[in-house]
Amino acid sequence: MSAAPVAARRISARVEGVVQGVGFRPFVFRLAEELALGGFVRNDTRGVVLEVEGEPGAVERFLAALAERAPPLARVERVTVRELAPEGARDFAIAHSDAGGAPGALVSADSATCADCLAELHDPADRRYRYPFVNCTNCGPRFTIVRGVPYDRPLTTMAGFAMCPACQAEYDDPRDRRFHAQPNACPACGPRARLLGGAGGESVDAVAGAAALLRDGAIVAVKGLGGYHLACRADHEEAVAALRSRKHREDRPFALMARDLAGGRELVELTPAHEELLTSPARPIVLAARRAGARVAGAVAPGLGELGVMLPYSPLHHLLLAGAGGPLVLTSGNVSDEPIAFRDEDALERLAPIADAFLVHDRPIHTRTDDSVARVAAGRPLVLRRSRGLVPEALALPVACARPLLACGAELKSTFCLAKGARAWLGHHIGDLRNADTLASFTEGIAHFEALFAVAPEVVAHDLHPEYLSTAYALEREGVRLVGVQHHHAHLAACLAEHGQAGPAVGAIYDGTGHGSDGTAWGGELLAGDLRGFERAGHLLAVRLPGGDRAVREPWRMACAWLVAACGPEPALPRMLAGAIPPERWEAVARMAETGFAAPLTTSMGRLFDAVAALCGLRTTVSYEGQAAIELEALADATEPGAYALPLEDAPDGAFVLDARVTIREVLADLERGATPAVMSARFHRAVAGATAGACARAAEAAGTDRAVLSGGVFQNRLLLERTAAELEASGLSVLAPERVPPNDGGIAYGQAAIAAASG
């Protein structure tokens, strides 16, 4: 007697996460066919909706495979299942997208060219041979071309390119890896590259023409995924010097692009952690130690022991690097301090005085997006700039927000953050909010994210600094509840939140400056708290900031201020500064530091690093933020075991103070004994790390926690971060450091959002 047939099961499932534009629907189609299930799948504004029907065991296997076997770029966050009555469905179909309802689907980041597309790019027999815009559902542009959701071609900048019959057939075939690949194109129907300028005028093979110009020492403006770059040969001294001069970029290091991982290894020392970052779909710029003998012009990264290297992330870059014959400088397409150019007309106007030629194309860029930057610290990734390839990946909030909110960030390395429920979207790097262009980019970015993710903010968080343009923007928003967030509390909260923690914890939060709760300039803070609040457990000794912001640009002023604090009102001009600073200027600044005239108090750890760098003779003025401290770190002698004293003293208010006056006096004594700057740098780093670990241990005991956070821009310093973390762990504390969210002010907005959410 035969067994009775098993009753069919039909279910409906909603899949949320990064499931649009990543080949999720054809994956579902193929999976349903494999398991002999009927039903359908479609996109809507919240993600993917599907129904499947068939043998109950097959339905269970289908549900298990949704996350386990998802496409490479997909990220399944949640699958919600509902039982339905069977309908007898045998066939499976991909239905048209449903554009109704409020958007809630996650948009994926731009992703590096996959191996399958690269094989086609280099295959002379393939119809996409040397086509600079080859892509599929597993790679290519996403965020930079999307104008709205659901992520379908009409809502991208590819809307103006009608597909040829061959491309349309791929796009319509669920079994093809280009099924509904929205940027799908080929030489017959898609975007085209052109070479403008140069001796040969327009070239049939524009990329080959640009590569030839680069080989000859030209500077070429290259339109990439998120904007324009300026490129030249990395080993061409005259070309790099010309680029630096024309761009008005005095010292800030240039990024490099190597053809492949082997080429990267010729430039820098790579660990497996570095290589994992370099080859990830995000393809960030990765900082690593310069390899001895690397063929790189001296002007690429003057005074630094590290280089920033990335690998090609678009077909155009792969072709360009293959033709250039060696690594290229690939730096942002702008004049110093301006936003990068991303619209063609603007680029041709602004970059004309810099570039000898332009490699352009006719696929519009919707959102300007700089390259992301990362390094490795203690074997873990540390994102320093979160932008192309990483944005707009959503971040979780430990405490969900009751009402949708916007966090406006700070001023330097500006970003914004939108949040709804337990999900936050930290925006792409905007730049320093100090001019109309960056402010326009900031406001446009917020509006774009509000539309993409259907967030209508009812709460707006902002920094306490009254003069930040981000604060002014927040105060101008109407009909919202405003939440002011202390700058260093936001740093603490950002690190806690990215690790899924609400606190409590102690935190060493070191940066340049941030507006303190008492109205003074903080920057060397030891906090104890959680997402809802904090106490100032301790701080660096406060000294004067002679000339205010001028002292940030002229580190010798901080050296003078610290010598006044450590040695008295009329410090002698140190020999390492003699000849660089006129005695009368030194005396005038010393008087400012003594009297407090035009010299506000600051506890900034960043400014202490500036002072020591100046005393070591490294830098009297800087041309970019953090330059003196970066060069001080690069100089440190890794074999030096000594450390200066940096005592912890009790203060009348119950807090404690890191008294660096003792440290400064020991630096001076070393200077008089003829110690090398490399030794002095190493001893100073060891002093700060040891004192910070001791201070955190004391604060943790008082607060009853075993968790310590290290964040703020100063902890971009790998040497300081690794040594401090090691000493904290040796004392029994659990250490949290930023990884996916920048420790600098690029992470402030996310911290503000976490605090505003927790405040209800």
513: tokens are 């400056």
With bands split at pLDDT 50, 70 and 90, how would you rate the model's confidence at 434?
confident
pLDDT at 43: 85
pLDDT for 87-107, tens place per residue? 988 899 988 877 665 555 568
**Residues constituting the chain:** 760
Q: Is the pLDDT of residue 678 over 50?
A: yes
Domain 111-376 coded CATH 3.90.870.30: yes
How far apart CA 243 and CA 118 sit, in angstroms, is 31
Please indicate whether the domains covering 9-94 and 111-376 agree at the CATH topology level: no
| Mean pLDDT calculated for residue range 723-737 | 97
Q: Is the pLDDT of residue 295 over 60?
A: yes
Q: Is the pLDDT of residue 245 over 90?
A: yes
Question: Which of 97-106, 356-365, 567-576 comes out lowest in average pLDDT?
Answer: 97-106
| Mean pLDDT calculated for residue range 647-664 | 92
Give me the percent of the chain exceeding a pLDDT of 70.
97
Question: Which of 96-100, 285-289, 459-463 comes out lowest in average pLDDT?
Answer: 96-100
pLDDT at 59: 95
Is 733 within 8 Å of 706 (Cβ atoms)? yes
Helices (H), 533-676: 549-553, 555-567, 583-595, 605-615, 627-635, 661-673
Higher-confidence position of 201 and 354: 354
**DSSP run (H or E) holding 726:** helix 718-730
Domain ranges of the chain: 9-94, 111-376
Q: Is the pLDDT of residue 322 over 80?
A: yes
CATH number belonging to domain 9-94: 3.30.70.100
Query: At what angle are helices 605-615 and 555-567 packed, to 10 degrees?
Result: 90
- Strand runs labelled E in 276-369: 285-289, 306-310, 328-332, 357-361
pLDDT for 183-218, tens place per residue? 999 999 999 999 998 654 555 799 999 999 999 999
Angle at 754 between CA 746 and CA 518, to 5 degrees: 75
| Mean pLDDT calculated for residue range 275-289 | 97
Nearest CA to 81 out of 57, 63, 56, 54 is that of 63
How far apart CA 646 and CA 657 sit, in angstroms, is 10
pLDDT for 507-526, tens place per residue? 999 999 999 999 999 999 99
How far apart CA 751 and CA 446 sit, in angstroms, is 17
Is 315 within 8 Å of 132 (Cβ atoms)? yes
Q: Is the dihedral of CA 697, 703, 708, 712 positive or negative?
A: negative
Please tell me whether the peptide bond between 191 and the residue prior to it is cis, using omega within 30 degrees of 0. Answer: no
Q: Is the pLDDT of residue 44 over 90?
A: no
pLDDT at 97: 75
pLDDT at 17: 85
| Mean pLDDT calculated for residue range 686-708 | 97
252: tokens are 């800030």
pLDDT for 603-650, tens place per residue? 999 999 999 999 999 999 999 999 999 999 999 999 999 999 999 998
Q: Is the pLDDT of residue 1 over 50?
A: no
Looking at residue 578, what DSSP letter applies?
Answer: B
| Mean pLDDT calculated for residue range 398-426 | 97
pLDDT at 480: 97
Higher-confidence position of 22 and 709: 709
Q: Is the dihedral of CA 600, 603, 609, 614 positive or negative?
A: positive
